[in-house]
Amino acid sequence: MTDPFAHHPELRDRIADPAGSFFRDFSVDKVEKLFPQLKDARAWVHPDDTREATRAKALKEHTGDLWIFAYGSLMWDPALKFAEVRRARVAGYARRLILMDVNGGRGTREAPGLMAALDRGEACDGLVFRIAASDVETETEILWRREMIGPGYTPAFVTAELDDGPVQALAFLADHATTEIRADLTREDQVRCIAHGVGFLGTSRAYLVNIVSHFAAMDIHDEDCVALLRAVDDYLALIDADTANSAKASR
């Protein structure tokens, strides 16, 4: 197959060109140079040898082409050279916005943001990207610098169902042993974090909007994400109304 989008031509303009992705040459040094105020977050970052050890362990038994399951920002900006992209469903897991970001990506300590993690649940729809065997070493090194920059995820293989059968795909699961995974958050907590979280990658709301809009293009409906976005927008509308009323009252 020479066209990576042969199965899903509707995604051709919805997935960023890896060559131009911010994450293609992503590194802590790059981020710190662009955003010096994030220097204090370096203590949170995994040392290179620790990160590479997790990659070696995760891929120890793998041979041949590699499928990668995307359920968050990897869906629209994988930053990877892929040979094929397919719609996929993973049973036994669910996408949950429980990865708290206080290190400057999409939130700060003053206003934490949220991103998605793959956690135990009924099922999760997303995409799988197939990496050619000859590119696995290079592309997973790039992937690990992004997804395993610090605590929060644990890499593991899951069964992803395609329309013509299952494949084993690498995924990044919620690591409940870390403080970054906040399964205890109430819905109100989630709404506030997504409404206010912002960092060098953009806002937490934009992240959620991208998930919902990407699914709309593929006729996938994730009720939890749709309802959460609606709640965030209702919350922001109330803040705007309160601000407007306060301005009128002070005149």
Chain segment 196-231, per-residue pLDDT in tens: 999 999 999 999 999 999 888 777 878 999 999 999
Per the prediction, the chain carries an average pLDDT of 93
* Phi/psi at 107 (5° precision): -175, 170
Q: Which two tokens stand for residue 220?
A: 């996938």
pTM: 0.92
**Residue 52 has what pLDDT?**
97
Q: Which two tokens stand for residue 60?
A: 């120890």
Compute CA 144 distance to the chain's CA centroid, rounded to the nearest angstrom. Answer: 13
Give the chain's radius of gyration (CA, Å): 19
In 3D, which of 197, 33, 38, 206 has the Cα closest to residue 114? 197
Q: Which two tokens stand for residue 73?
A: 């920002």
What 3 state SS string does 17-34 have? CHHHCCCCCCCHHHHHHH
Q: How many C-beta atoms lie closer than 10 Å to residue 71's C-beta?
A: 23
CA angle 204, 208, 212 (to 5 degrees): 170
* Phi/psi at 195 (5° precision): -70, -35
Tell me the pLDDT tens digit for each residue of 74-97. 999 999 999 999 999 999 999 999
In 3D, which of 152, 140, 148, 147 has the Cα closest to residue 46? 148
